[in-house]
Amino acid sequence: MVKQNFRAHLSMLGATVLFGANYWIAKGLMPDHLLPMQIIFLRVLGTFVIAWLIQVSIKELRVIKIDRADYPRLILSSLLGVAVNQMMFFTGLNHTTPVDAAIINSASPILVLVFAAWVLKERISSSRLYGIMLGLAGALMLILFGNPISPGLGHFTGNLFIAGNTACWGLYLVVSKPLMVKYNPLVMMKWIFMIGFVAVFPFTIKQSLEIRFSTFDTYTWFAILYIIFCTTFLAYFFVTYSLKRLSSSVVAYYTYLQPVLVAVMGILLFAEKISWVKIGSAILVFTGIYFVTKKNKRLSGKMWGFEDVGI
């Protein structure tokens, strides 16, 4: 169990790094190379094809069927985690900055706690609450003192879409949790992205027919392949794998790492200046991870009126 939990946390760390790099890579594509809906079309279709090819090539996975009673939850999970989520994310990122988007996404763990308590009746442990508050403090440091959200109308609209994306992702982690525990991750990937592709098709097909692949340069191909294989297939697989072993709130907590990773990438790759605010926020986030992932003690939970649960 300890080894499985370690692998689950390692998977979430890998997914967080892949998601963090995606802010800069996807932003570099829009709008000069591709439009948001064109990226979504290629991303969802490409990921579905990869997951489908892997499933049909493995005999044990081909025979796995989804129970009819799980279809409503599966459809809702796909709409939240793929269709609506991605359309809001890329539309929002097209109008705001990578750092702003990552900071806004830091609200995800708080939303997941609320959704999990409401939908799954999860109890909040004291140590997890400490970690979440520390991570929130780290994110707020970036918001208030590091990279204030831009006040322009375009940025404001983009930030609203990113906020919607954050809410969808948080609810997705909660709603899809029972399915991730019950079924194989690759089987879930195939179904979620197949339904997601059907959902985004009417909104993306018109712009996608205008894609001129002959005009793509090396960076465009690299960015598209990264978004399809790394940010989507691998990252979603890591999240799906982790949801089988960790609670929704622990999985969501890794979102707090994204503003720090995006800031670090900006420093290393885009000549952004390092600051004590960014260093301090990173320390708070990583300290928070310790409290969220540590073994809970029942006494501590009772002291604060929370029932401790394992991770």
8 Å CB contact between 11 and 196 = no
Q: What does DSSP assign to residue 145?
A: I
pLDDT digits (tens, 9 = 90+) for 182-206: 998 888 999 999 999 999 999 999 9
Q: Check residue 196 and give its pLDDT.
A: 95
The whole-angstrom distance between residue 161's C-alpha and the CA centroid of its chain comes to 15
pLDDT digits (tens, 9 = 90+) for 273-296: 666 776 777 677 777 767 766 655
pLDDT for 14 beyond 80: yes
Q: Check residue 87 and give its pLDDT.
A: 92
Q: Check residue 122 and give its pLDDT.
A: 65
The whole-angstrom distance between residue 231's C-alpha and the CA centroid of its chain comes to 9
pLDDT digits (tens, 9 = 90+) for 68-112: 999 999 999 999 999 999 999 998 888 877 777 777 777 777 777
Q: Report, as an integer, the average pLDDT of 34-63.
A: 90
pLDDT digits (tens, 9 = 90+) for 87-96: 999 988 888 7
Look over the chain and give the mean of its residue pLDDT values, rounded to a whole number.
Answer: 80
Distance CA 7, CA 42 (A): 30
pLDDT range class, residue 124, cuts 50, 70, 90: low
Q: Check residue 130 and give its pLDDT.
A: 79
Q: What does DSSP assign to residue 95?
A: T
pLDDT digits (tens, 9 = 90+) for 132-160: 788 777 766 765 665 554 555 566 778 78
Q: What does DSSP assign to residue 4?
A: H
Distance CA 29, CA 33 (A): 5
If DSSP codes are grouped into helix, strand and coil, which group holds residue 149?
coil
Residues 6+ apart with CB under 8 A from 50: 228, 229, 233
CA nearest 106: which of 309, 231, 288? 288
Residue 51: which region, alpha, beta or left (left: phi > 0; alpha: psi -120 to 50)?
A: alpha
pLDDT for 48 beyond 90: yes
pLDDT digits (tens, 9 = 90+) for 246-278: 887 788 778 777 777 877 777 777 666 666 776
Distance CA 158, CA 255 (A): 19
Residues 6+ apart with CB under 8 A from 121: none
pLDDT for 49 beyond 70: yes
Q: What share of the chain is helix, strand, coil (3-state, %, to 5)?
A: 80, 0, 20
Distance CA 236, CA 189 (A): 8
Distance CA 157, CA 147 (A): 18
Residue tagged 């009819």 (tokens): 68
Which tokens in the block code for residue 308? Answer: 């401790």
What are the helix and strand counts (H, E) for the chain?
Answer: 17, 0
Q: Report, as an integer, the average pLDDT of 233-256.
A: 83
pLDDT for 216 beyond 60: yes
Q: Check residue 304 and give its pLDDT.
A: 30
8 Å CB contact between 58 and 184 = no
Q: Report, as an integer, the average pLDDT of 41-58.
A: 92
If DSSP codes are grouped into helix, strand and coil, which group holds residue 66?
coil
